[in-house]
């Protein structure tokens, strides 16, 4: 158990809808990152938040947005869902922004877009 919890674990949406995924970081961790893992692929970096501000973003369109709250919990929002958004969304927490690779991942939220 990493101490990173995500909700919901599974959800189904239709194309064009919006979705919000939630993450509670491991205690003491002030940085949260979100990754998208398509079936049979490695995780791809979406963005990272540190002290409630986005401080790094991968190659994802603006309809992917996020929030980090003062208690370091986080949300990933995806607007105008597309079929290709179907994936496992992983939240990972870490301590600090100078990256050491020691991410602690949650078990993910599996999103299916129909």
Partner 1 sequence: QQQVKQSPQSLIVQKGGISIINCAYENTAFDYFPWYQQFPGKGPALLIAIRPDVSEKKEGRFTISFNKSAKQFSLHIMDSQPGDSATYFCAASGTSGSRLTFGEGTQLTVNP
Q: What is the CA radius of gyration of the chain?
A: 13
Tokens 């959800």, residue? 11
Verify binding: residue 33, partner 1, rule CB under 8 A: yes
Q: Which residues of 58-80 are buried (b: 16+ CB within 10 A; e: fewer)?
A: eebeeebbbebeeebbbbbebee
Residues 50-89 that bind partner 1 (CB under 8 A): 50, 55-56, 58
The Cα–Cα gap between 101 and 104 comes to 9
User: Which pairing describes strands 31-37 and 87-94: parallel, antiparallel, or unpaired?
Assistant: antiparallel
Stretch that binds partner 1, among 14-22, 64-72, 76-84, 102-110 (CB under 8 A): 102-110
Verify binding: residue 107, partner 1, rule CB under 8 A: yes
**To the nearest whole angstrom, how small is the minimum distance from the Cβ of residue 52 to partner 1?**
15
Stretch that binds partner 1, among 12-20, 35-43, 68-76, 78-86 (CB under 8 A): 35-43
Verify binding: residue 98, partner 1, rule CB under 8 A: yes
Verify binding: residue 108, partner 1, rule CB under 8 A: yes
């Amino acid at each position: 158990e990493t101490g990173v919890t995500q909700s919901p674990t599974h959800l189904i949406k239709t194309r064009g809808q919006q979705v919000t995924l939630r993450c509670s970081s491991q205690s003491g961790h002030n940085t949260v990152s979100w990754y998208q893992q398509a079936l049979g692929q490695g995780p791809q970096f979406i963005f990272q938040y540190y002290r409630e501000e986005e401080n790094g973003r991968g190659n994802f369109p603006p309809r992917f947005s996020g929030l980090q709250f003062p208690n370091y919990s986080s949300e990933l929002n995806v607007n105008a869902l597309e079929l290709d958004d179907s994936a496992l969304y992983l939240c990972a927490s870490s301590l600090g922004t100078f990256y050491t690779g020691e991410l602690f991942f949650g078990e993910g939220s599996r999103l299916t877009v129909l």
